[in-house]
Chain A
Amino acid sequence: MYWSRSRGKFSIGFFTAMFITWLSLSIARAEEDVTEIVAAEINAKYQSHKENFSVKRLFASRCSWCHQGYGLKQADGPRLAGIPKTKEQVVEQIMYGKTPMPGFRKQLKEWQIEALADYIKALPDVEL
């Protein structure tokens, strides 16, 4: 009986805790810009290439025409968050494009393409 009660208490407590955690994350996601959280990591990773590097700034200046919401929204180009491609495949597509997407291998440095690919792969698969 005790074990059963204990299990029951554990289960209720566990699911309550999980629910509270999920709720907090949801609220945090609603309040915070997830692209900022992701970009902070990518920016830090590529500071050695360029001081004050901002991957979102790079994204805005080259990718935003087709990919809305810093990659979180579908538009003329697809939603990038959760894209079923490996990082290598993302790099390949940024470099060479695929009609109607232009290739950027002559416009961007290799490390910039890497940074964009890292950012895209790190985007959580959540709606804005």
Chain B
Amino acid sequence: MTRWTSVAAVKAISAVAFVGFASQAISADVSWDRLLNAHKDDNNWMMYHKDFTGHHHSGLNQINKGNVKNLKLAWQHTPASSKRGIQSFPLAVDGVVYYTSSSGVIHAVDGTNGSLIWSHTAKIDVERAEGTFYNPYNRGLAIGHGNVYMGTTDGRLIALDAKSGKVVWDNEIMSVAKGNKGFTGAPMIVKDMVVLGANGGELSGCCGPIYAVDAKKGTVRWQFDTIGGDQRSRDSWGNDSWKIGGGGGWMTGHYDAKQNTLWWGTANPAPDYDYIGEDWMNNGPRPGLNLYSSSVVVLDADSGELSAYFQEMPHDAWDFDSAVGEFLMVEGGGKRNMVHPNKGGIIFVYDADSVGGGNELAVNNAYMIGETYNYIKGVTKDGRLVGRRELPEGKHMDVCPAIDGSISWNTGAYNPKSGTHFMVTQEFCFDIEVVNPERPDDFSGQAYFGASWTSKGPKQKVDGTPVDAAYGTLQAREPLSGKLKWRVEYKYPVLASLLSTGGGLVFVPGADGMFDARDADTGKLLWQNNNGLGHHGGVITYMAGGKQYVAVVTGWGSHVSGNFPGLFGHPFTSMPTDAGNLMVFSL
């Protein structure tokens, strides 16, 4: 047998094998109409945020308060790669579960038993991907128009046939010419486009673009530069510092069909920290407001033009960016409100209809949910920071929260029936020494910080209550007013996303590996399972074969979780950072 006939034979065998598996479960096509109405379909989880309400809530109630004690592991799947754990959100469509793991690997498995249908490993330009410390993160995928879409850490977007896993197209979307590197976030389908944003807040590049890509052809329809893209932005970066200003939009945002707008959170400016202190409008490494870093930008979905914006952290001096992808659409007070958590522990409540013309969004309310912060004294109801604590060159002790923020990039959940928003906070601080870093070459895409630090526990809460160690909280609030309904303290801050269900439950994947189900009305712990590894990815629920499943990814290893060995010691000193599973539970 020649080499070529041998290859042909292998292909034929693979095809036969595929047909065998394919008969078990094949998802129907996911049309735009189906995605647009995903909030009416609780049997499936078809996009990162489940649907365009952004609630991370499913009405499924087969698993509920009364029987959750009987929840048990149904199956698990170990991916082909799990360096730095699994950080992605699985998707579930018509009984098939799709998920990504590190280094651009996708698996499609049968949602009832985890048997493999197909898998694909992206061929990554390792040298380019390893040029960042976001490597080899992958936070998920999009499905629609017959394809599955995944961004890569080397700046590509790949479309795979959803049924076979075969490559439909694989295109470089973002070049390295201006110092940009790649994608870590999950793409989002809007109409016949796939939208995704660049990483790079800590790199001396420009311009942190967000792209809309033709879903069929793989060509760029439009590009919005989060920094340096328009004159207003350039004017807000003295000394042309936008050319090394970082930016980006690395988490999955939101689509508002009524206004035909995309809502996207943007990354921080580079360098992290500013040695100049209070004179930041006129001097230092990036004089000015540094638009549109650490902002929410609202874009016309068809053109990518700026419809509105709000800079949550004007001249961000702490790396408390707006990249959190959570946008909750909540009606109340006769208005459509868009609720967005900021890394600095602030919840912004925007008027979702105050868009158009490229102006500032109207803020209906803003409130703090962090408990130990001291980088500001607070926030006004219209979203303005009060009592900024600048960090000029030199040493600063007990700055709270640490660079990791009060809120990390994973999402909370919202139960629309009870009107309850579930959120987690992380309460730890650091000692920091701010330096004057050398200015890198323009568009060089190099690591660019201005400080060294050591994380530590907080000494006190904002109300003066003494604290003796770092900790975390799970909070249940009315999202528009911020009124606290209940609160549970966690010894180790939760870094994963949350899930709310119609069964009156909220699922909490813990840092130490404990996976909790709590009573959504009281916070009472109803069920717990030790998944063996910390969680810092997604959690979903879906129906397959008439049964409700809850799926969660495990795995540990990131910039934020890297603080835990120093803050808490055991079990994090020995927790592996190159392992992870998809774990699926049912009654």
Contact = CB atoms under 8 A, between A and B. Distances in A.
Nearest to A97: B130
Contacts of B563: 75-76
Contacts of B447: 61-63, 65, 102, 104, 107
B285 to A, nearest CB: 10
Interface in A49-106: 54, 56-66, 68-70, 72-77, 97, 99-104
A68 B431 CA distance: 10
Interface stretch (B65-73, B131-139, B505-513, B516-524): B131-139
Contacts of A74: 562, 565-566
B273 to A, nearest CB: 9
A128 interface: yes
Contacts of A77: 562
Contacts of A97: 130
B559 A65 contact: yes
Contacts of B132: 102
A100 B134 CA distance: 7
Interface in B196-221: 202
Contacts of B436: 57
A30 to B, nearest CB: 15
Contacts of A66: 133, 559, 562
Given A68-B454, A76-B559, A61 B271 contact: yes
Nearest to A57: B435
B337 interface: no
A65 B449 contact: yes
A60 B451 contact: yes
A46 B79 CA distance: 47
B241 to A, nearest CB: 15
Given A68-B455, A75-B563, A99-B130, A61 B135 contact: no
A59 B135 CA distance: 20
A101 B133 CA distance: 6
A59 B433 CA distance: 12
Contacts of A128: 454
Query: Which label, helix, strand, loop or mixed, suits the secondary structure of the A interface?
Result: loop
Interface string B441-454: 00010111111111
A60 B450 contact: yes
A2 B444 CA distance: 75
B233 interface: no
B131 A57 contact: no
B566 A107 contact: no
B356 interface: no
Contact of B454 (A69, A76, A104): A69
Interface string B557-579: 11101110110000000000000
Given A60-B435, A102-B447, A68 B133 contact: no
A63 B433 CA distance: 14
A64 B562 CA distance: 13
Contacts of A54: 435
Interface string B247-265: 0000000000000000000
A39 B117 CA distance: 56
B133 A100 contact: yes
Contact of B438 (A56, A57, A69, A70): A57
Contacts of B163: none
B135 A99 contact: yes
Contacts of B272: 65
Nearest to B453: A68
B448 to A, nearest CB: 7
B562 A75 contact: yes
Nearest to A61: B437
A74 B272 CA distance: 20
A58 B451 CA distance: 10
B435 A56 contact: yes
Given A76-B559, A102-B130, A102-B132, A62 B454 contact: no
B435 A61 contact: yes
Interface in B240-288: 271-272
Contacts of A73: 454-455, 566
A42 B271 CA distance: 25
Contacts of A59: 452
A72 B431 CA distance: 13
24 contacts: A56-B435, A57-B437, A57-B438, A60-B433, A68-B452, A68-B454, A70-B452, A73-B454, A73-B455, A74-B566, A75-B455, A75-B562, A76-B562, A76-B563, A99-B135, A99-B136, A100-B83, A100-B135, A101-B133, A102-B133, A103-B127, A103-B130, A104-B447, A107-B440
Interface of B: 83-84, 127, 130-133, 135-136, 202, 271-272, 433, 435-438, 440, 444, 446-455, 557-559, 561-563, 565-566
Top 10 A-B pairs, shortest CB-CB distance: A76-B562, A61-B437, A69-B454, A64-B452, A60-B452, A107-B446, A75-B562, A60-B435, A76-B559, A57-B435
Interface of A: 54, 56-66, 68-70, 72-77, 97, 99-104, 107, 128
Given A62-B447, A99-B83, 17 more contacts: A54-B435, A57-B436, A57-B437, A58-B438, A60-B452, A61-B271, A61-B435, A61-B450, A63-B447, A69-B453, A100-B84, A100-B133, A100-B557, A102-B135, A103-B127, A107-B444, A107-B446
